[in-house]
Amino acid sequence: MTQIAHPDSILIIDFGSQVTQLIARRIREAGVYCEIHPFQNARDAFLKLQPKGVIFSGGPASVTDDGSPRAPQDVFDAGIPILGICYGQQTLCTQLGGAVEGGHAAEFGRADVEIKKASPLFDGFWQAGGRYPVWMSHGDRVTKLPDGFEVIATSENAPFAIAADEKRGYYTTMFHPEVVHTPDGGKLLSNFAHKIVGLKSDWTMAAYRAEMIRKIQEQVGSERVICGLSGGVDSSVAAVLIHEAIGDQLTCIYVDHGMMRMGESEQVVGMFRDHYHIPLVHVDASDLFLTELAGVSDPEIKRKTIGRLFIEVFEAEAAKIADDGKGAPKFLAQGTLYPDVIESVSFSGGPSVTIKSHHNVGGLPERMNMQLVEPLRELFKDEVRALGRELGLPDSFIGRHPFPGPGLAIRCPGVITREKLDILRKADAIYLDEIRKAGLYDTIWQAFAVLLPVQTVGVMGDYRTYDFVCALRAVTSVDGMTADFYPYDMNFLGRTATRIINEVRGINRVVYDVTSKPPGTIEWE
Q: Which of 173, 170, 171, 169 shows the shortest CA–CA distance to 154?
A: 173
Q: Give the whole-angstrom CA distance, residue 460 versus residue 505.
A: 11
Residue from 6, 37, 138, 176 carrying the catalytic annotation: 176
Active site annotation includes 178? yes
**261, amino acid identity:** R
Residue 461 CB neighbour total at 10 angstroms: 6
User: Are the beta carbons of 103 and 120 closer than 8 angstroms?
Assistant: no
**356, amino acid identity:** K
CA 475 to chain centroid: 15
Q: Give the whole-angstrom CA distance, residue 133 versus residue 155.
A: 10
User: Are the beta carbons of 29 and 487 closer than 8 angstroms?
Assistant: no
Torsion angle of C-alpha atoms 170, 176, 180, 183, degrees rounded to 10: -60
Q: Give the whole-angstrom CA distance, residue 34 versus residue 52.
A: 10
Exposed/middle/buried for residue 248 (C-beta within 10 Å: 0-12, 13-18, 19+): exposed
**343, amino acid identity:** E
User: Are the beta carbons of 117 and 128 closer than 8 angstroms?
Assistant: yes
Residue from 34, 86, 93, 470 carrying the catalytic annotation: 86
Can you list the alpha helix ranges (DSSP code H) found in 78-133?
87-95
Q: Which residues pair with residue 256 across a beta bridge? A: 284
Residue from 178, 317, 378, 383 carrying the catalytic annotation: 178
Phi-psi region of 109 (alpha: psi -120 to 50; beta: other; left: phi over 0): left
Q: Give the whole-angstrom CA distance, residue 89 versus residue 67.
A: 17
Q: 99-101 and 33-38: which strand pairing? A: unpaired
Active site annotation includes 86? yes
Can you list the alpha helix ranges (DSSP code H) found in 147-232?
185-191, 205-220
Active site annotation includes 176? yes
Q: Phi and psi at residue 316, in whole multiples of 5°?
A: -65, -40
Beta strands in 244-334 (DSSP E): 250-256, 280-284, 331-333
User: Are the beta carbons of 496 and 434 closer than 8 angstroms?
Assistant: yes
**Angle at alpha carbon of residue 38, lines to 385 and 41, rounded to 5°:** 120
- The catalytic residue positions are 86, 176, 178
